[in-house]
Structure 1
């Protein structure tokens, strides 16, 4: 008997991929990609801190609707914020304006602080929206959705092959590193280490080319003619239209508030 997934459950539907069973996961992938692009364009164009705060709240709302684990997602966001924190700390000392205080003879300005906060809110809102709208897709579904949006087939093929074989190349790299360790190699700051890593990169490239040629021959033997036949047809539903209407309204509200508060 099939088990109905709860709002926060995940399931494996393709080797190596995870599908998040949330409200966002039930929206047409094409619509989610377009929504993420439009959201990023609108948020990058905002300059009011109040409007950016609302945009950040909208991204957090998408996170709740996506069904992603809150703690794990925010932990991944914190990795990016570790860089942004340094930027917020140093920008007040590099942007001219009204001084807040003086440290070791260098004035820290309010304008630099607000500019750092502006960049931090923009980056967090956009990245979180991309993680919830696009990051919750299976890689294969993302490729099919990009193809349905009329992206060049060559780019879609590159994406699909990269997703499929990136782990294979990683395993090849680990085997080569293990072979180097068995032979007594210990990395250091010397020419021998630099040459060894150069040989490692070269061997990775050679093996990648050889593997790609074998894969191409195997695909041709199976009748590959340069096109992938999609196994999924995307259709807009009433839920998709409601989501598009609400999301477009939220973006319109952000633009109106930005104009009013600018």
Structure 2
């Protein structure tokens, strides 16, 4: 089986596979099993022809560092070291390592299965899985206009700096940022009104028309089942 065949291509299967795998991995309680899940997710990621999404793991570093800093000192257990009045427990270290491995494995699985899906395709998959239409519309609109509003905020910021604005810790800076946020909200509202008018002119009635998705191939169903079955097998081993 080639690397591209190791993953389902149908967006509906990708959603279900990601949800099932992350749900099963989250129930793992042992460090060895959690590290096995992380190793399996990393191996599957490295097997793909496209560039792995390691950058998303970097965003987790602050959270994982917080785990390793706080849990060893707050979870009671057998002391292994002391730092002044604080004591490092073996149970805290074990819990921090287990949580770190599970979170990293889950992020790799989500990145692998959902990272390359466009918001429109992901929204269509959610609708095909009978997710309420209102939630689908909110998701697609948020994913689309987050980028547009971000670009608008960057243009306003560049205009402020072109006029000599330099941020400081004073009242003028706070007032200027308040004006920036207010102008951004006004422009976002105006854009939303124009988009709504354009959609109604095109016959929009509250539901986004979508074509019926084809039935997933047997190979894709087998690939999805293999990933979920592997996560279930790790959970069963962990519970033995």
TM-score, scaled to structure 2: 0.91
Distance 1:159 1:66 in 2: 28
Check whether the contact 2:11–2:117 (CA below 8 A) recurs between aligned residues: yes
Of 38, 44, 50 in structure 1, the residue corresponding to residue 32 of structure 2 is: 50
Displacement of 1:42 = 1.1
Of 187, 200, 207 in structure 2, the residue corresponding to residue 227 of structure 1 is: 207
Q: What are the ranges of 5 or more consecutive residues in structure 2 without an aligned counterpart?
A: none
Check whether the contact 1:23–1:65 (CA below 8 A) recurs between aligned residues: no
Distance 1:103 1:44 in 2: 31
Task: Report the counterpart of residue 59 of structure 1 in structure 2.
Answer: 41
Task: Report the counterpart of residue 30 of structure 1 in structure 2.
Answer: 12
Q: What are the ranges of 5 or more consecutive residues in structure 1 without an aligned counterpart?
A: 1-6, 9-21
Check whether the contact 2:8–2:14 (CA below 8 A) recurs between aligned residues: no
Task: Report the counterpart of residue 93 of structure 2 in structure 1.
Answer: 113
Of 84, 92, 101 in structure 1, the residue corresponding to residue 64 of structure 2 is: 84
Give the number of aligned pairs.
239
User: For structure 1, which segment, 201-210 or 49-58, has the greater mean C-alpha deviation from structure 2 after superposition?
Assistant: 49-58
1:1-262 aligned within 5 A: 22-23=4-5, 27-70=9-52, 73-231=53-211, 233-260=213-240
- The change in CA–CA distance for 1:225 and 1:210 in structure 2 (over 3 A counts) is same
Check whether the contact 1:25–1:137 (CA below 8 A) recurs between aligned residues: no
Distance 1:259 1:52 in 2: 12
Tell me the SS of whatever aligns to 1:108: strand
User: For structure 1, which segment, 78-87 or 33-42, has the greater mean C-alpha deviation from structure 2 after superposition?
Assistant: 78-87
Distance 2:223 2:100 in 1: 27
Displacement of 1:231 = 4.1
RMSD across aligned C-alpha pairs, in angstroms? 2.0
Tell me the SS of whatever aligns to 1:223: coil
TM-score, scaled to structure 1: 0.83
